[in-house]
């Protein structure tokens, strides 16, 4: 009895093994995916914040001010991206994310130090990334403490306070609440995953149910099939966008400082692109189970790890920084944070809009290429 049971179990296991071996795509996914995830997570998961872009306005131009600049230049935590001559240029650097920290040295900096008075140095932090801003503030305080110690040891003793007085202002998110940083990014992540999952089953379902033959018999162009399948899910996506925006404003209390029209423009292009990605995956997989797996892998992981949502892109390996340009969530998250927290407009965000549009056009074209050849021949 026991031997018969083992034979039956062995027969089922043998059949299942044959089915697995026949499914080359799933088998490859089972072995390649763990290695891919290890490389991806190992290269991006880092809580170290380094190379923070720093812009400086030195109004003093003295050896004392240059010594302070050298202290930041020699730090591994900061990367000086610009030396400016005016306040408007610093504002543009912050708006365009070229700099996350601004240092302003006043014109009487060296004179006050020579008079044994406190010399104030102002720092402006971009609070739209609250995590980086908080860590950066700690770095600034540490560097300034070392400078104060060095100045006190080099010169005569002071009766009062420290030589350098630190003045810090946080823009865009003064309270540095992580909710204001996380929620706009979550909108992009949620939309990307849901939209791609919904359309990743469309063509695969046609193949599995046998209704693809019906499509083959219709005088349709490939692009017509793609847009015909996208439109219903696009309506669902826009409803989701509206729900998420209302929830972020009235439930999470995220400030809306920019144009809602511009935000919807980004949302429309982003949704079309991601829906096209789902159809492309569906056409490649031809099976619903594999399509779902591929949709999750190509949307959830890149959107979370390579979009700048959790980890700064500038701290990633160079090859992953290059790959991040292929992740549409990167551009949508930049737009969401810029419009929500900074109130910036199309003059700053147009590069992201153009790149997002290019992605949407290219991926819809790729999706149309996955429509069976017979439909293309019908057009002729």
pLDDT of residue 42: 64
At residue 46, the pLDDT reads 62
**pLDDT of the residue at 376:** 45
> Where do the domains of the chain lie?
52-171, 178-379
pTM across the whole model: 0.80
Residue 245, CA distances (Å) to 160, 188, 242, 263, 265 in order: 51, 11, 5, 10, 14
52-171, CATH topology level: abc type-2 transporter like fold (3.40.1710)
Question: In sequence order, what DSSP letters do the residues of 251-284 get, joined into one string?
Answer: TS-----S-HHHHHHHHHHHHHHHHHHHHHHHHH
Tens-place pLDDT, residues 104-128: 999 999 898 888 888 889 999 998 8
Asked if the model's pLDDT at residue 69 lies above 70, the reply is yes
Residues whose CB is less than 8 angstroms from the CB of residue 174 and which lie 6 or more positions away in sequence, other chains included:
127
162 or 135, which is more confident? 135
Half-sphere exposure of 273 (CA within 13 A, CB side): 26
The whole-number pLDDT of residue 4 equals 76
Q: Phi and psi (nearest 5°) for 201?
A: -100, -5
pLDDT tens by residue, 145-199? 988 888 877 766 555 567 888 899 999 888 888 888 889 989 999 999 888 888 8
CA 42 to chain CA centroid, Å, is 18
Tell me which long-range contacts 207-216 makes (C-beta under 8 A, separation of at least 24): 207/286, 207/287, 208/287, 208/288, 212/372, 215/372, 215/375, 216/372, 216/374, 216/375, 216/378
Residue 296 pLDDT class (50, 70, 90 cuts): confident
Cβ atoms within 10 Å, residue 19: 10
Provide CB contacts within 8 A for 21, sequence distance 6+: 27
pLDDT band at 241, cuts 50/70/90?
Answer: very high
């Amino acid at each position: 009895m026991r031997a018969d049971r083992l034979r039956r179990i062995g027969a089922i296991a043998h059949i299942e093994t044959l089915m697995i071996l026949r499914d080359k795509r799933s088998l490859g996914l089972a072995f390649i995916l763990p290695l891919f995830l290890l490389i991806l997570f190992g290269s991006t998961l880092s809580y170290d914040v380094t190379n923070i872009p720093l812009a400086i306005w030195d109004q003093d131009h003295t050896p004392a001010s240059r010594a302070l600049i050298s202290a930041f230049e020699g730090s591994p935590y900061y990367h000086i991206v610009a030396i400016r001559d005016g306040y408007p240029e610093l504002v543009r650097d912050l708006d365009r994310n070229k700099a996350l920290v601004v240092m302003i040295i006043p014109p009487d900096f060296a004179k006050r130090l020579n008079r044994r008075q406190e010399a104030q140095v102002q720092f402006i932090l971009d609070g739209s990334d609250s995590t980086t801003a908080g860590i950066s503030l700690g770095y600034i305080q540490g560097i300034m403490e070392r400078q104060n110690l060095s100045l006190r040891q080099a010169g005569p003793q002071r009766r009062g306070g420290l030589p350098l007085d630190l003045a810090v202002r946080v823009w865009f998110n003064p309270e540095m609440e992580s909710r204001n940083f996380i929620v706009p990014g979550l909108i992009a992540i949620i939309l990307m995953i849901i939209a791609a999952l919904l359309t990743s089953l469309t063509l695969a379902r046609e193949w599995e149910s046998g209704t693809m033959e019906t499509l083959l018999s219709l005088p349709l162009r490939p692009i017509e099939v793609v847009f015909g399948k996208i439109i219903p899910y696009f309506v669902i996506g826009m409803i989701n966008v509206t729900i998420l925006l209302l929830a972020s404003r009235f439930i999470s209390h995220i400030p809306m400082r920019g144009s809602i029209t511009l935000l919807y423009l980004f949302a429309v292009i982003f949704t079309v692109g991601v829906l096209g990605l789902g159809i492309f995956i569906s056409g490649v997989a031809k099976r619903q189970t594999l399509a779902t797996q591929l949709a999750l892998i190509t949307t959830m992981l890149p959107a979370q790890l390579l979009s700048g949502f959790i980890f700064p892109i500038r701290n990633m390996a160079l090859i992953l920084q290059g790959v991040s340009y292929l992740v549409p969530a990167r551009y949508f998250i930049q737009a969401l944070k810029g419009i929500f927290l900074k109130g910036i407009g199309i003059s700053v965000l147009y590069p992201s809009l153009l790149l997002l549009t290019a992605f949407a056009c290219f991926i819809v074209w790729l999706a149309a290429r996955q429509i069976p050849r017979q439909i293309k021949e019908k057009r002729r």
